[in-house]
Amino acid sequence: MSQASLQRLKNALHEIYAFMTMTKSSIVGVIIVVGYIFIAFVGPYVVPIRLVGTFEPNLPPSLDHLAGTDHLGRDLFGFIVHGAMQVIVLATMTSLITTFLAVTIGTAAGIVGGKANAFLTFCTDVMLTIPGFPLTIVLATMIRGSPNMLLLASVLAIIGWPAQARSIRSQVLSVKNRDFVEASRSVGLGTAYIIFFDILPSLAPYIVISTMRAMINAIYSLVGLSILGALPYDETSWGIIINRAINQGHALLVPAARTALIVPLVAIVILQISVILLSSSFEIMFNPRLRDKTLRSKKKREGQTE
Amino acid sequence: MASRDLILEARDLTTAYGTGLGLVRAVDDVSFTIHKGDRIGIAGESGCGKSTFILSLIRLVPPPGRIIKGEIIYHGFGTPTNILSLPDEKIRRYRWEEMSMVFQGAQSALNPVIKIKEHFIDTIRDHVEPWKTGEVYKRTPELLKGVRLEEKVLDMYPHQLSGGMKQRVSIAISLILNPKMLILDEPTSALDLLTQKHIVDMISDICMSQNLTTIFVTHDVSLLAEVATEIAIMYAGKIVESAPVRDLFHGPKHPYTSALMNAIPSLIGEVDSVRSIPGEVPNLANPPKGCRFHPRCPYAVDICKGVEPSMEATGSESLVACHRWKEF
Amino acid sequence: MRWVYVRLILAALTIFTTTNIIFFLIRLMPGNIVDYEINYYVGEMGWTSEEAYEFLSAAYGLTLDKPFHEQYLSFMANIFTGELGRSLRYGQMPVINIVATAIPWTVFTVSISLFASFLLGIVCGIFTAYRHGSKSDKALTVSSIVVDAIPNYVIAYFLLILLASEWDIFPMALAYDVTRVKPGFNLSFVLDVLWHATLPVISYTVSQFAGWALMMRSTTVSVLGEDYVFAAEARGLKGSKIMWKYVGRNAMLPMFTLLAIRIGHIFGGSTLIENVFSYPGMGKYIADSISTRDYPIMQGLFFIIAVSVTLSNLLGDLLYARLDPRVRLK
């Protein structure tokens, strides 16, 4: 590697480090998300699952069973660990598909203008008002026969893209008339160039942040649907653990059985919160005004004077 | 001076923005006296502190600005009161009952979601006892007539009015509580020329007929010429000259004032007799030592660079802050 | 007024699109459920085609043995007349009957919650905006962001576990206690209904209001910088009047553009929350229909929810026009 690119790499790493340690919440967010990813991909090789109950049922969390046991005496921690991958992979796929759809349609509407814009906007608006979650339920049950991750992710993406597409469209509309786009156009650079090198890069911060939001929604829908039993399942799906706990473990009536209900809920909440903290950090990083305020208060805390 | 009563005095008023090394004194140690019935025009380049000065007079300097020194003594309450030490509720009443203001770009001074009449009603309700509100509201049609607007404007929303109409509404609202003083901040700048003329005429009628004490900040020379009784010239946060209108136009004593006069094109004068003022407005965070105008003054000498000139009387009602005024 | 007509047309088009989507899903999609069911009844249950067709036609509100375009027309006609199909499992009960019993409960809880969360959001939003930058603002904003991220069913389960199961303050399920009160306009019934509705309403409200509060906060902060607010202060108007009539009313307006999405979300959330509390609204029936594979119910209720959302959006838009004269009097 040449000196220059090495230096650039160092700078990039330094920027990333600065970003991650910017505020307390960003540190927490990063740690937890990385932790979850680690658990999801490495965990299954380390923690075993037993589908048959071999332990005492309804045990609270302890050193032997970090997440307790369910009503059938199965270790919950193993289930959670194995189920994490599903959640993370599906959520990521869904959010990427959502973003892709939203960017494509939003940009097309914004750039093309005229009748096409009106039509696309109309479609988006109609899709927006159709209640997403019930639609997803209907769609998910229809594809229950063929469990295919990509198909499932696409179904989940259906509710997310209209809202995002709308924001992207309005952003494209405002960026379209900015000076640097005008400059590119006057030099004779084609539309494709303008889209990919002028407009999209300036939208990049927003896209990153809304992808994270899409992830949160994806996790919500994913788990929600499996609680209702609308998704093809295996026993490690977090939503199914909840479903089983209530319907078969009678968690609502038997206090001891509550562990199986509470543990997946806590896992979900912690994941959601950390993704949100991460997206807030991105927001701060991308918005120079917020960033200066945060950096200044951080410096103050560390004893440097203004 | 018994025939002209004092109504407002500013003493060593200093209003600043920012903190520490970056402290910008938009109004620096300014002292000024206003008598009842005066119509005072304040003129000067952008950034000289005129708007900050008048905002200080109603104690409404927007944060991060604040008044850090001085007093503003108001004589309309019977006993002289420093309005800077009034509690919040009293200052709320002071605003509009004693002194009201017409803003620059008054187009956006109106709440877009309520009708024009609501603006009047809200103002009246928050100042006048409940049983008197009806009475006060009855003055509205007359006021609207005074600014040449029809009564039906009351039932309209701000976005239905043109810029000039909104400005006139703002003038009418400013008079609803019969204040003793009226301040106008660039009342004509955001309007087209024709409307400007109308507004100037209107202001002239209103102020002169009601003998209202008026302060207006403006670049508009016609406004100054037609309406003002006295003019104060501000530069870099300080008042550098103040004199009755005629005297100022015919015999400016401060180099900056004469430069400003030269910068105004005359309808009958030669085109190349117009001269702009060389140099730039100083940085108020770090103003020049001594007389602030010295870097741009063609008559500056050593003393100007070191010692700040104080206001000296050049006549019974004129003041100037220049070391060499006697020579001019 | 023209604007109102545009909105009405959009609403009608939305409903039309929804019905088309349903038809597409149940008939036109390859491997669709109707074909699947035909195969099931004829192949595995040994019915004749005619029997299967008759049964399924009544169930789905179609005419299965006719060509596609006739199926489409009969489907549309049926929906228009309120024939939403029949349950496959509950002895061919018309879906419309199920809708009639379920809809009041959902609309009841959802509308109270919408109202409450909107109001709470506005108050919190203004409160934090006025204290913009202070410690309390930062703390409240961060907690709002966090609460907003928590899924509504998580909140619902926790409320259920804590307040109902553990501490027994509120009931665990249903809309009212059948063993103790009789439906009707008597006080004990009304109180019982309210008591049963409390936890669902709290769940909806808590999960929604943070989003409103954050939005209100940002719109208020920008309104606070507007000239007319400054002018109002200069006019010596009372602080409370400025806060509500000058700042509040203007800051609230942009939120209506998000109202559409939010209403959809809250109706959608009803499936999960009603499932948690076994609350007999539309959401609960949809949830049940998943496990019993009673598709006509699922579709019919989906349609009704779509209509409810569209109507609520329309109401929201009309309300917005009432509040923002610039829209009305263009």
Contact between C33 and C295 (Cβ < 8 Å): yes
Question: DSSP 3-state assignment of A260?
Answer: helix
**Residues with Cβ within 8 Å of residue B309, at least 6 apart in sequence:** B291, B321, B322, B323
Task: Say if residue A162 is preceded by a cis peptide, omega within 30 of 0.
Answer: no
A210 domain-assigned: yes
Helix (H) or strand (E) holding A163: helix A149-176
Which residues on chain C are in Cβ contact (under 8 Å) with A219? 151
Read off the tokens for B224: 């100054």
A4 domain-assigned: no
Read off the tokens for B216: 């207006």
Quote the CA–CA distance of B252 and B259 in Å, as a whole number.
9
Q: Cα torsion at C6, C10, C16, C18 (round to 10°)?
A: -170
Dump pLDDT digits (tens) for A229-283: 888 777 788 888 888 888 888 877 777 788 888 888 999 999 998 888 888 888 7
pLDDT of residue C206 exceeding 90: yes
Q: What is the mean pLDDT of residues C195-206?
A: 91
The label of the residue with tokens 């024009």 reads: B116
Read off the tokens for C269: 């959330």
Read off the tokens for A227: 């609680």
Q: How far is C234 from chain B (nearest CA, A)?
A: 6
CA-atom Rg of chain C in angstroms: 24
Q: Which 3-state string (H, E, C) describes chain C?
A: CHHHHHHHHHHHHHHHHHHHHHHHHHHHCCCCHHHHHHHHHHHHCCCCHHHHHHHHHHHHCCCCCCCHHHHHHHHHHHHHCCCCCECCCCCCCEHHHHHHHHHHHHHHHHHHHHHHHHHHHHHHHHHHHHCCCCHHHHHHHHHHHHHHHCCHHHHHHHHHHHHHHHCCCCCCCCCCCCCCCCCCCCHHHHHHHHHHHHHHHHHHHHHHHHHHHHHHHHHHHHHHCCHHHHHHHHCCCCHHHHHHHHHHHHHHCCHHHHHHHHHHHHHHHHHHHHHHHCCCCHHHHHHHHHHHCCHHHHHHHHHHHHHHHHHHHHHHHHHHHHHCHHHHCC
Interface residue A168 vs chain C (CB under 8 A) = no
Is B109 in contact with C250 (Cβ distance < 8 A)?
no
Contact between C231 and B110 (Cβ < 8 Å): yes
Nearest by CB: B103 against C231, C246, C250: C231
Q: How far is C230 from chain B (nearest CA, A)?
A: 8
| Confidence at residue B274, expressed as pLDDT on a 0 to 100 scale | 60
Spatial strand order in the sheet of B213-217:
B99-102, B181-185, B213-217, B39-43, B230-235, B238-244, B319-320, B312-313
Distance of CA C316 to the CA centre of its chain: 13
Q: What is the mean pLDDT of residues C89-93?
A: 76
Quote the CA–CA distance of B92 and C234 in Å, as a whole number.
8
Domains of chain B: 6-320 (3.40.50.300)
Which residues on chain C are in Cβ contact (under 8 Å) with B101? 234
Domain CATH for A115: 1.10.3720.10
Contact between A110 and A69 (Cβ < 8 Å): no
Distance (Å) of CA C33 to CA A144, A149, C38, C294: 10, 20, 8, 11
Is C151 in contact with A224 (Cβ distance < 8 A)?
yes
SS3 helix, strand, coil % of chain B, rounded to 5?
40, 20, 40
Q: What is the mean pLDDT of each run of 10 residues along chain B (328 residues)?
A: 71 84 83 88 83 89 85 87 89 91 83 92 92 90 88 91 87 90 83 77 82 84 81 88 85 82 63 67 79 82 82 81 78
Read off the tokens for B309: 């000139």
| Confidence at residue A254, expressed as pLDDT on a 0 to 100 scale | 79
Quote the CA–CA distance of B295 and B299 in Å, as a whole number.
10
Strand bridging mode B213-217 / B181-185: parallel
* Residue % of chain A over a pLDDT of 70: 90
Contact between B215 and B27 (Cβ < 8 Å): no
Question: DSSP 3-state assignment of B243?
Answer: strand
pLDDT band at C26 (very low <50, low <70, confident <90, very high): confident
pTM, 2 dp:
0.82
CB atoms within 10 A of CB A50: 12
Which of C145, C271, C161 is CA-nearest to residue C210?
C145
Interface residue C240 vs chain B (CB under 8 A) = no
Interface residue A249 vs chain C (CB under 8 A) = no
Which residues on chain B are in Cβ contact (under 8 Å) with C323? 113
Is A273 in contact with C150 (Cβ distance < 8 A)?
yes
A3 domain-assigned: no
Dump pLDDT digits (tens) for A282-306: 877 777 665 555 555 555 555 444 3
pLDDT of residue C124 exceeding 70: yes
Angle formed by the axes of helices C295-323 and C95-130, to 10°?
40
Q: Is A10 exposed, middle or buried (0-12, 13-18, 19+ CB in 10 A)?
A: exposed
Question: DSSP 3-state assignment of B25?
Answer: strand
Is A265 in contact with C157 (Cβ distance < 8 A)?
yes
Residue B211 backbone class (left: φ over 0; alpha: ψ -120 to 50; beta: rest): left
| Confidence at residue A306, expressed as pLDDT on a 0 to 100 scale | 37
If one counts the domains in chain A, the total is 1
Q: How far is C123 from chain A (nearest CA, A)?
A: 23
Q: pLDDT higher for C5 or C329?
A: C5
Q: Which amino acid is at C81?
A: T
Nearest by CB: C237 against B103, B123, B157: B123
Read off the tokens for A133: 């979650």
Contact between B240 and B256 (Cβ < 8 Å): yes
Q: pLDDT higher for C258 or B2?
A: C258
Among chain B residues, the shortest Cα distance to C325 is held by: B113
Quote the CA–CA distance of A137 and B134 in Å, as a whole number.
61
Quote the CA–CA distance of B153 and B166 in Å, as a whole number.
10
Is C250 in contact with B112 (Cβ distance < 8 A)?
yes
DSSP state of A196: I
Q: What is the mean pLDDT of residues C37-48?
A: 78
Helix (H) or strand (E) holding B166: helix B163-175
Dump pLDDT digits (tens) for A157-198: 888 888 888 888 888 888 877 787 788 878 877 777 777 877
pLDDT of residue C167 exceeding 60: yes
Domain range spanning residue A76?
13-305
Strand bridging mode B238-244 / B81-82: unpaired
A202 domain-assigned: yes
First to last CA, chain A: 39
DSSP state of B323: T
| Confidence at residue B155, expressed as pLDDT on a 0 to 100 scale | 92
A2 domain-assigned: no
Quote the CA–CA distance of B103 and B109 in Å, as a whole number.
7
Which of B74, B32, B36 is CA-nearest to residue B53?
B32
Interface residue A224 vs chain C (CB under 8 A) = yes
Q: To the nearest whole number, what is the mean pLDDT of chain C?
A: 84
Nearest by CB: B159 against C226, C246, C326: C326
A78 domain-assigned: yes
Read off the tokens for A29: 């967010």
A7 domain-assigned: no
Least confident range of A212-221, B302-311, C107-116: B302-311
Which of C322, C113, C78, C323 is CA-nearest to residue C199?
C113
